[in-house]
Structures are given as C-alpha cells and as structure tokens.
Amino acid sequence: MKGKYLAGALLMGFLGASIALFAYTRITGEQTTAISKDSSKVEVQDARAFLTSMQTQEGPVDFTYAAEHTVHGVVHVHTKTMMSPGQSDNPFMEYFYGNRRNSQPREVQGYGSGVIISADGYIITNNHVIENAESVEVTLNDNRTFTAQVIGRDPVSDIALLKIKAESLPFIKYGDSEQLRLGEWVLAVGNPFNLTSTVTAGIVSAKGRSLTDPDGTPRIESFIQTDAALNMGNSGGALVNTKGLLVGITSMIYSRSGDYSGNSFAIPVSIVKKVVDDLKEFGQVQRALIGVNIKDVEAADADKQNLKEVKGILVTNVLTDGSAADAGIKVNDVIVKFDGVPVNTVSELQEQVGKRRPGDNASITYLRSGKENTTQLVMKNEAGNTKVVTADMGDNSVFGAKFQALGADEMKTLNVDNGIRVTEVNDGKFKDIGIKRGYVILTVNGKKVKSPADVRQLSNNGSSLKSISLIQPDGTILTLQFGN
C-alpha cells in the first residue's frame, strides 16, 4: 500500500502535533444521537450562502454568515508532554541496554484546534493532537484559557473529546456530511497559532477518500477532500458548510512540504458524531464489526466475478464466528448495498457501518455467481459478541496493546502469509519494550499469529512472553527473546 500512496515522491504533511494519516480497513459502527440539547442561537432556516448581486445572477458566494457564526465555536488546543531522554531513539536498544544519556527529561509542547459542540463545554479535537499529553489547555476565541479534561479518545478515527468547566459557550451545530455534494463550498475554521480563529474557503473536491497512515496503521477511511487552505495547527478544527453547520473535523493535508498545497482532508461528521456519543456515554467507542476483510473491486476482479461494472466491495476473507460468517457471506462475494444504501467502495461501506453499534441489525446485498442476494446480520463487537463494552469491563488488549488481522492485500505487500497489526498501545509490556502502533506481529512464543485472539492464547492470557517476532514500519524484521 505504501507504493500506492507515496507515488510521485509525495510526502505526507500533517496539521497537528503528531502524525495522523488514516485508513481503517476494518468496519465500524455508529448511531446518530446528538450529544447535547439544541440551545444554539443559530437560525438554521435563515442561514444561507447568497450571491453578492441579485440572487438569480452570477457572482461570488458570500461566506460572512457562516464565518460569523462559527469562529467563536473554534478553540486553540495547547498540550504539554514530558519526553524522557532518548525517547525518540530506538526503543528496543534502550530497553535491552538502557539509556546511556545523562540529559534530563524535556518538555515538548504541541498545539492544534478544537470545536465546541455544546454550551456546557464539550470540545472535539483530533486524537493525535492530545495523544500522550500530560496537560491540555484550551484557549477560546475571546482569549479565556481553561484546563481541559480528556473525556476519551479514539486512535482509530483520530477523534478525542475534551471537557472544560464553562457555561453558555458558543458552539457549532452538527450538519449532515452525507448530503455534501462535489463542488459545494465549505469553510475551514481553525485556531492554529492562538491568534483567534481563522477562516479559509474551498470546495468539496471528493468524498470517501481513502488514505494510508505512513506507519501502516489501519484507520477509518472516508475522508472529505477539500482545497481549503490548512496548515500546521489546524488539526481538530471545523469544516462547515455555508449554513455554518459542522460537516467535518479537519485532520490532515497531503503535500510535498508539509504545508498547504491544495489537498486537505476532514473526518466526516457522520463518523464524528458516533465516536463522540460513545466517548461521552461509555468512555470508549462501541465498534460494530461485520467480520470480513475487504477491498475495492478492480477490473481483474470484475472479469473474474463476471460483473457488469467495476464497482462494489470484494470479500477477501471471512472471519470465523463473525457476523458475516453467521449470515452466510463467503469469500469472493461482492457487496453492493448495506441496509439498502448502495456502496461502491470500501470507504462508502465503512461510513454506513460506522453508524451502528454492536447488536444492531442490518441487511447486506451482495453478488455471488452473477446473482444478487440479500441477507440479514447482527453486528458484533471486537470480542465477538453483541454486548456494550464499557471501561470498567476491561478490554480485549494483551500486554497493553490492541490488534487487527492483516488483510490479503497487506500480507501481499509485506510478503508474509500471517500477522496482525498493532492498532493501539497503552501502558503494558509492549509499550515498555518499545512496540508502537503500526508494528506487525508475526509470532508470539515461537508460534505464528493470524488473529488478535492468538496473542492471548499463545501468551497464556497475557501472562507469558518469551519471544516475539515483528515487522517495524520501515520493513525491518526483528526477533526478540526474553528471559523466563
């Protein structure tokens, strides 16, 4: 996949304090409950873009209404993190041989933007803006500064939810990202330099864009692409339509230099709302999974499956005991609709599934041997059941890390026939030895791993780790041996 997205020697340039390019190859769930009561004074029915001359004549679009009603709902996010000496060096060398430097820990400061979504102080930003931060401060557009509490964060969608102790705050209402049309005008509102909020304008260049994190981490992928100018520090800012409604959270740019060059990307609010609701209610995201590995149909696939058109989503693997397996989905089936909504690409399917939670029912329409079929399924969570997972119930991590099985394309790219990718690393054994998000685990205690469950089983429920082999993001293969 690296070759696909790094063609032309393009470098990924990012908006916030740390790297965040996202392509999530697993299918996730979402629902649409609003996070707060509607107390904004914005009169949506009167909000509109209009022509500077007569309404029926041609002329430039006026963005003043949307700008005036959103700049006060965007904040500056400032983070502080203490970095230990040599923390950015080779973590494995430091673990086995110790840190030989005598320098003191240093403070690293980061910054980004955030969007107020309720009058009582809930704020959305990017996970990569606040990840690993020891303190988070928020400065409002009126220059008031507050210490922010991290309610929850989700590395997979790159969304984090903050809370400040304040009342009667201006906020931005949710819009509907699914109603966006190509060529529609949008505004990017951010506070990158703590100089009060700034506004840039552009059009929707594409929807459902799929990109890959440089470390190969699976991500939710369904970006809104715009040509609105974004630069360092805009991460976590608002993408709004001409009615002043939130349609996305700005996340990254794609450029040679790391600065704006015409391609900016935002996480659609259809995904953001679900993640925020889950973080607020449960402290972690409730991911509904179909239980398949998939890819976009290509010309060769269409010929092989006798398809009339090159579109749809090809099933490359069906996970045992997953929702799709229970519903009778098989390898080489081509998914064309989800709950009656046409889906032609992986990102379109992910966005639809992203509205559901474990336990939700849905229909899948697929092609098999040229015949269209529809089946019902009940979506499950990462543990393989339909229960809601809360923080006090524990999670499915092993050694402090979470994983996802590699898809067929990923294994082909890496030239391996098994493996799982590390999708999240928290406190635990893996963090201690320097394993990071994006690493691919090949074996645990001398045995091949093909699924996240294998790590738990081969390590005796996370109690024994004698050896591990893995692939680093740069392609280096390491085998580590540990004492008894």
DSSP codes joined into one string, 12-26: EEESSSS----B--S
Position 259: which residue type? D
pLDDT at 400: 84
248 and 328 in a single domain? The answer is no
CATH label of the domain that carries residue 206: 2.40.10.120
Last residue of a domain, one of 220, 254, 285: 285
pLDDT at 390: 63
55 and 149 in a single domain? The answer is yes
Domain presence at residue 386:
no
Distance CA 477, CA 116 (A): 44
Residues in a beta bridge with 405: 420
- Helix or strand (DSSP H, E) at 411: helix 408-414
41 and 117 in a single domain? The answer is yes
pTM: 0.70
pLDDT at 444: 92
Question: Tokens in use for 246?
Answer: 């939130």
pLDDT at 480: 86
Distance CA 245, CA 239 (A): 8
Domain presence at residue 245:
yes
121 and 143 in a single domain? The answer is yes
Task: Quote the number of domains for the chain.
Answer: 3
**Mean pLDDT by groups of 10 residues along the chain of 484 residues:** 38 36 33 31 37 38 88 94 57 51 67 95 94 91 95 88 96 94 93 81 85 51 83 87 95 65 83 93 87 90 89 89 91 95 89 88 93 94 77 65 75 85 83 86 90 82 87 86 72
Residues assigned a catalytic role: 128, 158, 235
DSSP codes joined into one string, 344-391: -SHHHHHHHHTT--TT-EEEEEEEETTEEEEEEEE-B-TTSS-PPP-G
Residue 33 makes CB contacts below 8 A (sequence gap 6+) with: 273, 277
251 and 322 in a single domain? The answer is no
Domain presence at residue 429:
yes
Last residue of a domain, one of 285, 314, 349: 285
pLDDT at 254: 66
Domain range for 362: 292-378
pLDDT at 163: 97
Beta strands, E only, 228-309:
238-241, 246-254, 264-268, 292-296
Domain presence at residue 385:
no
Domain presence at residue 387:
no
Last residue of a domain, one of 378, 411, 446: 378
Domain presence at residue 131:
yes
